[in-house]
Amino acid sequence: MGSRCPRLSGRGGFCRGNRDAERAPPDPVTSIRDRRHIAPAIFWFIKIPLDWVRPSMGTLVAPDDLKAHLITTGTSIERARGTYLFRRGEPVTGIFLITEGVVRLGLDGNPVGFPSREVGLGSVVGLPATLSDSSYSLTAEVLEDCRLTFLSRQSLLDVLRQKPELCFQVMSILTEELAQTRTALERVRKASA
């Protein structure tokens, strides 16, 4: 008989090798977050923010706490339709939090396997490049007149140093972006097979 392993921090599970122990019930919040394919209408009776289930417009939506800190620290700017926040290959200047309007993110020329995506209210653009201090990997075009909050790289790093708990929120945005990139690459792989 296998012995019960100590609970893993935050996971509520047991060691994999323990076949005799009963399986602990899954964490309900994690389970809900992992079911992004379920229609949000199911959750009308549960008081759970919908961005836990399915982020707005499918991408990069910042949690409210992070948005509040970015807005208080950043500079409010406006950009007209048809302008660019940044283009692929340009040196990084910082991140943009969309407070109103819509921005298209994509590769120049919109290759078939990598369709552009539209992001709106609450989305953060330019985050991966800003954190890595590299050039932007996508082009961000303003589709509807936008109000944005801009933070330079140094301002963002200062906020994260002062409020380390926000690092996990930033990490969740980056994780979502990585998942979307993997999905796009899988589509390309299947199309070329």
Tell me: do 62 and 49 sit in the same domain.
no
The verdict on 80 and 148 lying in the same domain is yes
Domain count, the chain: 2
CB atoms within 10 A of CB 62: 25
> For the range 132-138, what are the long-range contacts, defined as Cβ-Cβ under 8 Å and sequence gap of 24 or more?
133/92, 134/92, 135/88, 135/89, 135/90, 135/91, 135/92, 136/86, 136/87, 136/88, 136/89, 136/90, 136/92, 137/88, 138/88, 138/105, 138/106, 138/107
88 in the same domain as 29: no
163 plus 124 within the same structural domain:
yes
pLDDT tens string, the chain, 193 residues long: the values are 444 444 444 444 444 444 444 444 444 444 434 443 333 333 333 333 333 333 334 457 899 999 999 999 999 999 999 999 999 999 999 999 999 999 999 888 766 666 788 999 999 999 999 999 999 999 999 999 999 999 999 999 999 999 999 999 999 899 988 888 788 778 878 887 7
Strands annotated E in 10-126? 75-79, 84-86, 94-106, 117-119, 124-125
Instruction: Give residue 48's domain range.
Output: 20-54
DSSP β-ladder status, 124-125 and 139-152: unpaired
Residues 45 and 64 in one domain: no
pLDDT of residue 90: 96
| 131 and 42 within one domain | no
Residue 48 structure tokens: 């759970």
Is 95 within the bounds of a domain? yes
Q: Provide the pLDDT for residue 30.
A: 41
